[in-house]
Structure 1
Amino acid sequence: MTSSDSDDHAAAFSDFYNQERIRMCRFAATWSPGLDHEAAVQDAFVSAWRNWPAIEPSRRCAWLAAAIRNSLIDQSRRRRERPGDLNDELIGRYGSAFRILVQRHRDAEISQELNATLAAIAALPEALRTALALRFWSFDYEQIAEVLGCDRDAARGYVSRARAQISEKVGNQERRARGPRRAAKGEA
């Protein structure tokens, strides 16, 4: 590797980091608000830097998301907590995750619904929670499939089931009244 190659790698990594850092922090906070999502994101970026030349450019986002998820799973094992477990103590300890995800609302009903939604997301099985969090932060179905190790249709199914379970738990009457929206052909 020449000095020029090293500079090119550093510049590409720097651009990637600046473009993806906030989205990855939001994904991690959504996936498991009770864990140290900032540390997981930083660990994943350090690992990405070490492996940068070996990671195919089109797969870098999915690779990083998988590394973040794995780091969060490791954290939960060390603490003997389920990654999605959410209680008042964890909210107090890691309230910053909620500040990233939810702006303070003056309307108590809206705040309550947002917190109920986050708790419902936290209670989802790992694959559904991962798929929903990734989709929410604008990952395409191909990237979600890569992170989960499944095909595109399975990734879409995970997102759909996660949305249905959240709707059921949070009680979104409007969505239940109109039924699930079916994507038109060609719509992602």
Structure 2
Amino acid sequence: MTSSQTVAPDEATLVGRARDGDVRAYEELVQRYQARMFRLAVRVLADRADAEDVVQEVFLTAWRRLDQLADETAFVGWLYRMTTNRCLNVIRARRPQTELDPETAESPRTDTRPEHAVQVSSQLGALRAALETLTPEQRACWLLREVEGLSYEEIADAVGAGPAAVRGRIARARAQLSEVMKPWR
């Protein structure tokens, strides 16, 4: 390895340094995980502004409570849990439920056939609407599994439920989404 190549410190090292007051170490943690937490929040909340607020609050809270994290290797799981819980609180505070913001959806590729782009756009719209019909807990569990690729145990830790409850929520979400999305098969 040449002197110009450096190995990025692992998560536990950065967490340890941040605990000791190293702001740069914490900034690196934020850079590593901010996009992931935002992606989760925007998909759960279907609102970019709310998602930005949630992620900002989560990272601020994490910085303030870093000394409460028992295991330095559990930082990302801790972030998922805080982000999920904060999103669920935001959803519970919304009454009545707001409509999905079309700006939050990723646009289909425009370099394909126009009819295909219209179909993909329609499918994404239907999926967004179907996700809104799920309970907030089902939606969070489904997104953590299907979009973020977390294990059932990681999801259970993130949402504060047992793995069996998570499996049940995901199974109900899948069944409901499958029913709603039948016309698109």
Q: If the TM-score is normalised by the length of the shorter chain, which range does it land in? A: 0.7 to 0.9
| CA RMSD, 1 decimal | 2.8
Deviates more, 1:13-22 or 1:117-126: 13-22
8 Å contact 1:28–1:69 — kept in the other structure? yes
Name the structure 2 match of 1:27: 40
| Deviation per residue, 1:50-103 (Å, 9 max, x gap) | 111211334323332332234334444555333xx425xxx26xx1x224xx44
8 Å contact 2:85–2:159 — kept in the other structure? no
TM-score (normalised: structure 2): 0.73
Q: Residues 1-188 of structure 1: matches in 2 within 5 Å? A: 5-7=20-22, 10-34=23-47, 36-55=50-69, 56-76=71-91, 79-82=94-97, 85-87=98-100, 91=101, 95=103, 97-99=104-106, 102-105=107-110, 106=114, 107-135=117-145, 136-171=147-182, 174=185
Question: Larger relative contact order (C-alpha < 8 A, sep ≥ 6)?
Answer: 1
Shift of 1:165: 1.2
Shift of 1:137: 1.2
CA distance in 2, matches of 1:15, 1:21: 10
CA distance in 2, matches of 1:30, 1:41: 13
Where structure 2 has 5 or more consecutive residues not aligned to the other structure, the ranges are 1-16
Where structure 1 has 5 or more consecutive residues not aligned to the other structure, the ranges are 175-188
Shift of 1:122: 1.8
Identity rate of aligned residues, in percent?
29
CA distance in 1, matches of 2:159, 2:18: 36
CA distance in 2, matches of 1:3, 1:130: 29
- The change in CA–CA distance for 1:50 and 1:129 in structure 2 (over 3 A counts) is same
Answer with 1 or 2: which has the greater Rg: 2
